[in-house]
Amino acid sequence: MKTGYDFLTIGHITHDILNDRGRVSRFIGGAAFFSSFAVKRSGASLMVLSKLAKKDFGLLSQMREEGIEVIALPSTHTTSIENIFESEDVDRRKVNLLSQAEPFRLEEIPNVETKIFNLAGLFYGDIPPDMIGSLARKAAVGLDLQCMLRSSIGGSFSWSDWPEKRDYLPHITYLKADSLESRIITGNDDRREAAKMLQDWGAGEVLITHSSEVIVYDGTRVYSAPFNPSNLSGRTGRGDTCFASYMTRRLTHGIEESLSYAAALTSIKMEKPGPFLGTMEDVFRRMESLG
């Protein structure tokens, strides 16, 4: 085990079902899964902490074959999600929770040096909010808002505001939301205005994804970059991939270049199911096509 990493990613690896207008397939998913490939393929080092049933530890093989270091903690269940797309609108889907792994605890976090804690939870409670302050005292924190806004009621997904948001957002260096989540937490349908509100409440850099583009607001300017996939067969994991690739590039580059990199990498990923398996050279070529 190394003693220092660029990222320590915390999140559940999932065994999921995709129903795309009647076409059903099974796949490995979860924010921690998709984000880890984007980080690794972008040249950064990482460790992933996950929880899943012992019988499902084999789901981690693709990550380990990629050279991603994974610590798997046993859980009674593995998180399993059913994603149902009934139209071509990638921003609208029905999601059912079939089973859920146990929450992470602060004492389970490995004592290693990292530049960024990537909190890649899937549901409220996966990552207790009171963990955030402790981690922020050690390194930058990247948070996907879905794990503070999304819950399950009888297996069906529900989204609700995060009451403690003003207490915890000041600890977040990088904050990610999609267009639905940004509206739920701010009450504002305008993504750019929502990003400004979230930054005003204390978050450092706010990234919001949409089917057409990704934006970032840093307190001074709204940056934007378009997506240009040739097809959307790999749309699942879009936001996780985009957020991770942005934070990775941001370790060594400015906001505008990092956002362009993330949009290009994510565009490539959306053209094929599964995690991003391209090269940085592929991304640079796509950046040129995005202008």
Q: What is the pLDDT of residue 21?
A: 78
pLDDT in tens, 21-31: 778 888 899 99
Q: What is the pLDDT of residue 198?
A: 98
Which has more confidence, 83 or 263? 263
**Band of pLDDT at residue 1, cut at 50, 70 and 90:** low
Which has more confidence, 244 or 98? 244
Q: What is the pLDDT of residue 290?
A: 78
- Which residues pair with residue 71 across a beta bridge? 49
Q: What is the pLDDT of residue 94?
A: 76
Residues belonging to the chain? 291
Residue 90 has pLDDT above 60, yes or no: no
Give the structural domain span for 262: 4-290
Residue 155 has pLDDT above 60, yes or no: yes
Task: Kindly provide the b/e burial profile for residues 166-186, where b requires at least 16 CB atoms within 10 angstroms of the residue's own CB.
Answer: eebbebbbbbbbbbbbbbbbb
How far apart, in Å, do the first and last CA atoms of the chain sit?
40
The two tokens of residue 120 are: 């890649």
Among residues 97, 80, 7, 77, the alpha carbon closest in space to that of 49 is found at 7
pLDDT in tens, 119-141: 999 999 999 999 999 999 999 99
Q: What is the CATH number of the domain that holds 22?
A: 3.40.1190.20
CA distance 181 to 175: 11
pTM: 0.93
Structurally, the chain folds into a number of domains equal to 1
